[in-house]
Each structure stands twice: as C-alpha cells, then as structure tokens.
Amino acid sequence: MCVLASASGPGVAAARGQFRLTLLEAVGDWLRQDPALVVYMAGHITSSLGWYQTRYLNTPCLPQALLPALVQGQCPDMALWLSTGLRCALPEGGHDVMRGEEVQLLGLLQLAPELRHGRRLVCLPGTHTKWVWLEDGQIRHFRTSMTGELYALLTQHSVLLQQAENLGEFCTESFIRGCQQMRGTAGLHWLHQLFTVRTEQLFSGLTPPQASAYLSGILVGADVQGWQVNEPCAGADCDVVLAGNSQLNFCYREALQLAGFRVQTFDITDATLAGFGWLAREQRKSGVVAVPVVADGSCQVG
C-alpha cells in the first residue's frame, strides 16, 4: 500500500460536533472518484472525546484481534469502520489504555515479521508516547508517557520559553545536553531540571531555539530513564523497536543510545498504513459487506 495523498485537519478536540464535515473535507476528492469508498478510523476519534466510542480489548492479546472487533459507524456518505482500543493491567497495579497505536503495532508486525517471535520492546513516541512489550507477537502490557503533550504545554503556557514561535533549526547539541542532565540521580529531580531551561537562558546565554531543544532533551531523557527504573521487564540486553516520525525517531534514538540500548527504527506512517491495509484486506477476505451508500441523511453519533 502506498500513500496517494494526505490531508491534515484540526484534530478531534477542535472538530467536535463537526466530525462528518471534517472527514468529508479530508476524503471528499477520493469519495467523488469512488462512491464505494471504505474508510477505516482509529485513535481519539473512537474515544469518549470522538465521534463513536468503541470498547477496549483487554491485553494480553494479538493485534490481529482488532479485525473481529471492528465497529461499523453509521454514516450516509461512506462505509465507515472504527478500530477498538486496548486496555492493560500493569504489573504494579493500575491500568493503561491506547487508541490508534494498536493499528500501528499491527502494522509493525506486517513490516517486520521477526517481531512476532520472542520478547520485544516497542516505543511509539508522540503526544502520548507508548512503551509496549510484545511477547511472541502478543501485546502483553504497555505504559503511556505524556512527553509530547507536556512539551507543548510547557512551551505555550509556562515561563520556560518566552519566544516559542518560529524557533528555527533544531539544536542537536542542546537536546543531547538535556538528555545527559537526566542521567544518574540528578534526573530523579526532573521538576527542578525543567526550571533550568529558564535559568540557562538567563545566565548561560542559551537562545530560545537552544532552550527548546534542551527542554525536549530533558523530557525525552526523563521518559527513557523513568522507563528504565520502573519497568520490571527492562534489562541490559533489551533492544528497542522505535516507530515515529523522523524527528521523534532521531530524538528517542539519541536518548536510548545514550542510555546504552540498541535501537531499530521504523517510520510511523508506514506502520499505520500497513496496519490499516491488513485490516482492509482481511475484512474483504472474511466476506464482511460494506454498508450501502445513502444519498442523504445525517451520521448518527454512537
């Protein structure tokens, strides 16, 4: 499967109440070419914040279990199918959830069949970074870090960066310095380390672009160190499978290698398309019939 085109929208939170129109703006050209278009959706669009709220599958489970759990949305413009999310019980107690990443994990297993054997750690960096343990292709458990969301909040709504817009080229040296700040016992007091983003600008000449990269390094470094310290399954011989966009892959690879891990990287778009592609092909093979396209009417929110 290849990408013919892509479109960006306002995101689930901003599109609330406008889901159908937002989707039509994104796929309208394709729909006019093929009225029998089938659309697959995953992520927050299937959450309590989204269009349809689908259930959570419990882990451990195989990602292929997403196929029989697909939910059919009621939309007159197109055939609409939505993925379910995943829920896990953590070894120390408590729970974690994901929506959207389950399709990406399914895609990774298609791109790299060797991941279906043995124990593997997968890191999916982003707004809500996921650290996922696979065992013989099964999703055992996972943890969420709010790394990307915290970075956005701190750059937009804190005193740490006064010039958050148009920061220019990413400063790798400052990022690595931020990661290094989180190594050892100093990293345990990461709330203090965050404030050094401001003091380094005041007294050490750190420019806003350098400070932005330094902040990113602190957060990514804290994420990696926190996983190392708190994950019962972590070990010195653990390899990490990393799947993000090019910038996130670079940042997490640097932080992980600094911590002594070997890293294998994949492009998250490739993984996402491979996951959706598998669902579409297997659903056709299973004989599930798409809903007929209706000329008019409104989508029902379920």
Residue 247: its pLDDT value, please?
A: 96
* pLDDT tens digits, one per residue of 91-144: 889 999 999 999 999 999 999 999 999 999 999 999 999 999 999 999 999 999
* pLDDT tens digits, one per residue of 244-264: 999 999 999 999 999 989 999
Residue 296: its pLDDT value, please?
A: 39
Residue 219: its pLDDT value, please?
A: 97
**In angstroms, rounded to a whole number, what is the distance separating the alpha carbons of residues 279 and 291?**
16
93 C-beta neighbours (distance < 10 Å), count: 6
In which band, very low, low, confident or very high, does the pLDDT at 295 lie, cut at 50, 70 and 90? very low
For residue 179, give the H/E element and its range: helix 172-181
Q: Which own/partner contact pairs does 12-19 have at CB distance under 8 Å and 24+ positions apart?
A: 12/43, 12/44, 12/45, 12/47, 12/49, 12/50, 13/44, 13/49, 16/49, 19/45, 19/50, 19/51, 19/299
Average pLDDT of the residues in 80-93 = 92
Residue 229: its pLDDT value, please?
A: 80
* pLDDT tens digits, one per residue of 20-64: 888 888 888 888 888 888 999 999 889 888 888 899 999 999 999
Cα Dmax for the chain: 67
Average pLDDT of the residues in 148-168 = 85
Average pLDDT of the residues in 59-81 = 91
Higher pLDDT, residue 9 or 24:
24
In which band, very low, low, confident or very high, does the pLDDT at 192 lie, cut at 50, 70 and 90? very high
Question: Residue 84: is its pLDDT beyond 60?
Answer: yes
As to burial, measured by CB atoms within 10 angstroms (0-12 exposed, 13-18 middle, 19+ buried), residue 281 is exposed
Residue 182: its pLDDT value, please?
A: 92
Residue 23: its pLDDT value, please?
A: 87
Residue 169: its pLDDT value, please?
A: 87
- pTM of the complete model: 0.89
Mean pLDDT of the chain: 87
Ranked by mean pLDDT, which of 7-16, 69-78, 149-158, 166-175 comes out on top?
Answer: 149-158
Residue 264: its pLDDT value, please?
A: 96
Residue 18: its pLDDT value, please?
A: 80
Residue 173: its pLDDT value, please?
A: 97
Residue 185: its pLDDT value, please?
A: 75
Spatial CB neighbours of 172, under 8 Å, sequence gap ≥ 6: 213, 254
Cα torsion 236, 240, 246, 252 to 10°: value is: -40
